[in-house]
Chain A
Amino acid sequence: MTAADGGGAGDATAWAAVYLAHRRALTAYALALTGSADDAADLIQDVLVSLLARPRECRAPRAFLLGCLRNRAIDLRRRAAARPARPPPETAGVEPVFLSSDADDMAVRETVMRVQAALRAAPPTQREVIVLKIWGELTFAEIAELLARPQGSVASDYARGLAGLRAVLTAEETHAAQS
């Protein structure tokens, strides 16, 4: 997509279409960054409106928007801490709050809660890579560019994170089966 023709109704329509096409990934990541649906909506709105004011070339809109969400969330967090000179945090501090535990199926609800607990126990860098890969639906190359890290390191974090997740989930299942 090209959004470099100047802000206007055309751009608004284009960004609205991008939002609607990728809203599940954007919502999941915004929720993971902010922790609440209202703040996530504000974050998404803030980013989309700011893109209208400063049009730019954009070839991979989903990855670009996820990157914008991350940067904006870090900005807001830094501003809230009122310490502008502080170096940027290592991760954006994503939390698995975008998973819904209101499912009708009891088994699904339990799985969601176990996954949330396991993700919270994972190291923050691995957690962020897993969220971006699975729920943000990005490639390793896109994640590496977004996080400004080597692609091999990102892929390794993903593999280690999922292995840890599997170990925790398996141990919990075994424990539940024994009790």
Chain B
Amino acid sequence: MQPNPETDELAALLAGLPRIELGPAREARILAALQRAAAPRGRWWVRGVPLWQAAAACVAVAGLTAAAFWTTVPRATGDRIGDPSPRLEAGAGDAPVVVRLDAPVFSHRSRPPPIDVSRWRLLGPDP
């Protein structure tokens, strides 16, 4: 743009007109807000964590705990927590039942293979 003395003169006149200032109080408020925003955050429970984030964290922790429990705790064949206890078969009397396990069913980190207990029977006396 070509310099124009008249335009420059008018621009200088306009630039020299008095302006409204924000004032020390408002400027101090701006600077204080800047310092506050830059200050290290406080404890996590006063940071204002959004409710949905807290809920999502709880659900995730519960899911991981349940998964860890179901994959690491050894259990008997196919039973579930809360199932009724098995009843004694007729004729078993009060004689102790001895069971010999030929397979390492409790050493699995994952879910043990199902065992067919329908063919189990009482063993004779231990030699």
Which residues of A approach B to under 8 Å, CB–CB?
A: 7-9, 11-12, 15-16, 19, 23-24, 27-28, 31, 37-38, 40-41, 44-45, 48-49, 52-53, 97-100, 102-103, 108, 111-112, 115, 130, 133-135, 140, 155, 159, 162-163, 165-166, 169
Which one, B1, B14, B26, B30, contacts A134 given CB within 8 A?
B14
Are A48 and B18 also in contact (CB < 8 A) when A11-B38, A166-B10 are? no
Which residues of B approach A to under 8 Å, CB–CB?
A: 1, 4, 6-7, 10-11, 13-15, 17-23, 26-27, 29-31, 33-35, 37-39
Asked whether, in the complex, the Cβ of A135 is within 8 Å of the Cβ of B30, the reply is no
Q: Cβ of B6: which chain A residues have Cβ within 8 Å of it?
A: 166
Instruction: Give 24 CB contacts A-B under 8 Å.
Output: A7-B38, A15-B34, A19-B30, A23-B22, A27-B21, A27-B22, A31-B20, A41-B26, A41-B27, A45-B33, A49-B33, A52-B38, A53-B37, A99-B20, A100-B17, A100-B18, A100-B19, A108-B17, A111-B13, A133-B11, A135-B14, A159-B7, A162-B7, A163-B7
> How many angstroms between the C-alpha atoms of A18 and B14 in the bound complex?
24
Asked whether, in the complex, the Cβ of A45 is within 8 Å of the Cβ of B30, the reply is yes
Which one, A9, A19, A140, contacts B31 given CB within 8 A?
A19
> How many angstroms between the C-alpha atoms of A111 and B10 in the bound complex?
12
Are A12 and B17 also in contact (CB < 8 A) when A19-B31, A140-B1 are? no
CB-nearest residue of chain A relative to B33?
Answer: A45
Asked whether, in the complex, the Cβ of A98 is within 8 Å of the Cβ of B34, the reply is no
A159 to chain B, nearest CB (A): 7
